[in-house]
Chains A and B, each alone.
Chain A
Amino acid sequence: MSYQNPHTPPRKSATFDDYTMAEIRRAAATGIYDIRGGGTKRKVPHFDDLLFLGASMSRYPLEGYRERCDTSVVLGSRFAKKPIELKIPITIAGMSFGALSGPAKEALGRGATIAGTSTTTGDGGMTDEERGHSQTLVYQYLPSRYGMNPKDLRRADAIEVVIGQGAKPGGGGMLLGQKISDRVAEMRTLPKGIDQRSACRHPDWTGPDDLEIKIGELREITDWEKPIYIKIGGARPYYDTALAVKAGADVVVLDGMQGGTAATQDVFIEHVGMPTLACIRPAVQALQDLGMHRKVQLIVSGGIRSGADVAKALALGADAVSIGTAAMVAIGDNDPHWESEYQKLGTTSGAYDDWHEGKDPAGITTQDPDLASRLDPVVAGRRLANYLKVMTLEAQTIARACGHNHVHNLEPEDLVALTIEAAAMARVPLAGTNWVPGTTPF
């Protein structure tokens, strides 16, 4: 019997994998870069790479269901006459009416209100429904100033000056023509059906010195009542946080690259900005160096999914977290219930990210009245409230296990890292060692 040379299987390139080659072909065929919603899809070091140590001989835990573990948070105590008091340290991130349907915005307001937290407007202004259904509403002050007016500024509970967001630090927004309904067009003072570009820089100030003056104006207009947040994308967190404090922020909102967007270029989402995990410690360090940690509150967002993520962000020094994508999933985004319709759109539940096209089967990222009517805002609001409460219980469970009677008492010493990368970024020791890469010798 003669020797048969074994067949060598075809080998695909790791560099030019199927996805990469499909993207090259798509670009060649269409002449346009890929635009999509959401945050980064690549795997980056994240909270999953951290573990809590729990109580041991040196610490004792608190009893679940018996011993209190507080979750309240006060935001804006530095300068504002009326700081915001929330029951839980989890807020709803800015998402616009325009990017989201009216019922979706209403659901976010309802869910946040039941859970005792705040929701946030987005590019395009404040709707009456959103104000009406949100007990605590943060009003975003964006470069485009779409829908910006002093009446809404005064009826907001806080103002968030948006400098950047994690999905696209340095980038503006984009709402493509297919989502520009009559109402969206009217709110943005633009013709129906055109692509609406939101500027990447504010039109009337440049740099932190100007921003300090701008914040002074906003405080004067609102009689120093409202907390003023500054939202930054995760790029240079140490200096950006320090400059935000210098500019007069009551609260710094720091959004890592897992944070979502309604629509931008995929190349921007995947290649600009830093993972959330890498942003927190430099920002906290900046606050500590200025003697402002806990005086200027830090809200961290970008890839927060569970109470464990909440607890880890707080342990690293955040005062609260913010969720966007997870809140959308809670109210029905990418739900397998609509799988057959996702298939018709050439995708599958869990992967649908063409939010800019306005064809969302779940009725969330759309302005189509028929699709939008699929979302019951009362039911969806309840789902969001449930989810927020579960996250809170999970964070409390961990905090009690670590012996803390307030989730804010979680600290870096409660954590270890599973990977060298995560240890370096979170500045906690690699599990089983005393090694914090970058700060202690190997």
Chain B
Amino acid sequence: MPTFDLSTQTLRDLNSALHSIDAGKNDLAFEVVNPRGSHAVAVGIDQPVSVDVKGSVGYYCAGMNDGGTVTVHGSAGPGVAENMMSGTVVVEGDASQYAGATGRGGLLVIKGNAASRCGISMKGIDIVVHGNIGHMSAFMAQSGHLVVLGDAGDALGDSLYEAKLFVRGTVKSLGADCIEKELRPEHIAKLAELLDKAGVTDVKPEEFKRYGSARKLYNFNIDNADAY
């Protein structure tokens, strides 16, 4: 297994190695030690590699991941797995702001808590947070699923489009045009699938409430101006 020690090697060494994978020839399992809060660790992966990061990372870890499996054995700074296309990113600790921002696919699992704006502008990614999420999460979220086992902060799902939000705990407040919706069988099935993928075994899908868009702000109407 190739190991990159970021106390002696550069970030460029790591990322250029990850961008030079020949799937038939190269070892596909990488380990990163001493990340020491580095930014942009394991970004732009476009091959089915696995990267185990032994420690905490700074901004944009696993940014734009497309097909890789990245596990952070620590906490992640802002923008972890931003704009992920496919693959899996797991954060064993907590995640800072904008986790999974604009993600288009794949699965982001945060085993601790996520800060504000988790899933902002998400476009198809699935996000499962074992703990709580901060304010303004799923702002302008377009597509995908955000599953929160704990509580959500203020203004959840503000200006939401078609993303589906599931919260097991309390929601401090809902954002503009975000409402609670019926949890139908297809949602329960999807929740069961996502909880299973995220390694959650002791929680039932029926314990969640579903939130989505009221779709009242989809086309501008002057009488809705107070909502903004």
Contacts and interface: CB of A to CB of B under 8 A. Distances in A.
B121 A213 contact: no
A204 B12 contact: no
A221 interface: yes
A32 B121 CA distance: 27
A239 interface: no
B104 A220 contact: no
Chain B interface secondary structure, helix, strand, loop or mixed? Answer: loop
A217 B60 contact: yes
Contact of B85 (A149, A194, A214): A149
- Please classify how large the interface on chain A is, using the bins under 10, 10 to 19, 20 to 34, 35 or more: 20 to 34
B59 A220 contact: no
A176 B219 CA distance: 8
A190 interface: yes
A31 B140 CA distance: 25
A203 B101 contact: yes
Interface centre among A150, A195, A217, A223 (most CB of B within 10 A): A217
B140 A199 contact: yes
Contact of B79 (A176, A189, A194, A205): A205
Nearest to A178: B219
Contacts of A188: 142
A204 B120 contact: yes
Interface in A198-241: 199, 203-205, 210, 213-214, 216-217, 220-224
Interface in B8-49: 11-12, 15-16, 19, 39-40, 43-44, 46
Given A195-B219, A223-B16, A213 B85 contact: no
B59 A221 contact: no
A217 B101 contact: no
Nearest to A188: B142
A223 B120 contact: no
> What are the nearest 6 A-B pairs in CB distance?
A221-B44, A31-B222, A194-B218, A204-B98, A204-B101, A204-B79
17 contacts: A31-B222, A145-B83, A148-B102, A149-B83, A149-B85, A190-B161, A191-B161, A194-B219, A197-B140, A199-B121, A203-B101, A204-B79, A210-B78, A213-B58, A217-B39, A217-B59, A217-B63
Interface of A: 30-32, 144-145, 148-151, 153, 176-177, 188-191, 193-195, 197, 199, 203-205, 210, 213-214, 216-217, 220-224
